[in-house]
Structure 1
């Protein structure tokens, strides 16, 4: 953060030099301008991480500079802090009404200056990280939906799975970043199917032993695809172990009981529920109540009894049914799949 470029705009030369010295001593890179026009050119050229600007300046004043910066690419995301010797209501209202990030009244102490700059840069970085996460999740969701079309799922499978798993995670009082890892795991759990031959994924006849052997490799294929992406590291155990069974009969490693990561045990329950209540090439969906009974009957065998209890509690509260109804498949979904197949 302390290597960020700060653009200081001030027509008082002595104050400009003083502000520059304080910021550089604190480790910031500093660019300076004495009027709005020069500051706007500097912004477009250097793309500073934050702008400190006087309001009352000859020519383009601070308010006009703020509006000009906000109209530039990236300008809306750049923190803008006003400096003024006139701590009047008019200045405060003008700056705040435009959406300025902060306001410092002269005379300025070095402590107030550095505290404000660091806090605004920190908040700006947090917003940027959140925006990147949203972009990443959107990209991952698009990838997951492409996988589902290839596997003849509807595009809502992964969305439902994410919603079911989030509901159960909240019921377990899990918090971030655990819920985020669970979300990534739900989105990417079947990414390894990209490496499974399409003829196996779309086969309407029962799979042969050879087919099943290949299908059961998809968790490992998935891990190989994403293991070099650092921010997805917490999701790797979920992707790898979501087909393990409580009694050790699952795959790929035959883990049993608490050897299986909790998040993977949770996902196994809701993935099976959604699979049972969705059409597949080789069978039709079963009703939600019957699927619910199936989940209960497999507690202690396929599923962790604790996770089944949580699922039952969510069911009794109506949360599972609510998600299922809100994200149910409809004719449009099936049309999208048909169109996608025709384009391939």
Structure 2
């Protein structure tokens, strides 16, 4: 096929992708958690599962945040930090530390990360059976603790696959304006997900990611104890294209379905993920994007053996938490990565097949 025909085909493919995303955006709706201890996760664990680089240009967990590409990060350790600040003073922050094993059998790698999230005195409106039928003003603090394990490996013909195992518990203690205490807490139930990525050549990357969160939720107030399951199912589909050297265009879509037994709700939403990334210098990459309804920006700065990723998000997770904690927020997330591997002379090292450029699964896989 000639270069002109190839470019024409690429253009038609991306035009079709944009039309699909436009339709998805047209049907976008909110799938919002009804409880503060679940909603606060969208500022922490919901982000580190994608990764800060992915967040910076649209949060497409199907491509650059795909679980199936974890094997690319063998022999690394990470420190994560994130802060979400609302204009009304509400503040959420998290810290995390993780590491990826050396390459094991057939380049399989195992990644584990532990995370802790806390808040200041958060002001919000919420319902509780003992406080009447409408939402009332409350003030309280929440915390979330989680451990995530990802296992991934390359398969064949540009395909990679990975799985996620998660253990996460949350709680939120609040007091109404009338002095009545309300406590929300969760017990762990089996949760996880999987990802598939396919890179037919160095220019294209396609991916699918599924996530299943299950929690047994408990709300304790003056009327007694209410209990029930809170479940979230999330599907992501996306594609990434390198139109020129150092540039990346990313397009994806996310479907979220939530059930909450205590609140008696069931919601479904569809939202787009759009992003653009450009390598400016050998050690500096800039990016911008749209994560569902939230504008994003970010950068990567490399100073061997470290790599620093920073992302900014305006109104993070607005499509998911709505105005529960406030109307306007700004978030900063950062990941410091340390590559503790020695320089590999073999072309099977994680960057050798791409000439030192970060591209997933670019080599011909076993």
Q: What TM-score do you get using the length of structure 2 for normalisation?
A: 0.24
Q: Which has the higher strand share?
A: 2
Q: What TM-score do you get using the length of structure 1 for normalisation?
A: 0.25
Kindly indicate whether structure 1 or structure 2 has the higher relative contact order, using CA contacts under 8 Å at least 6 residues apart: 2
Q: Which has the higher helix share?
A: 1
Structure with the greater alpha carbon radius of gyration: 1
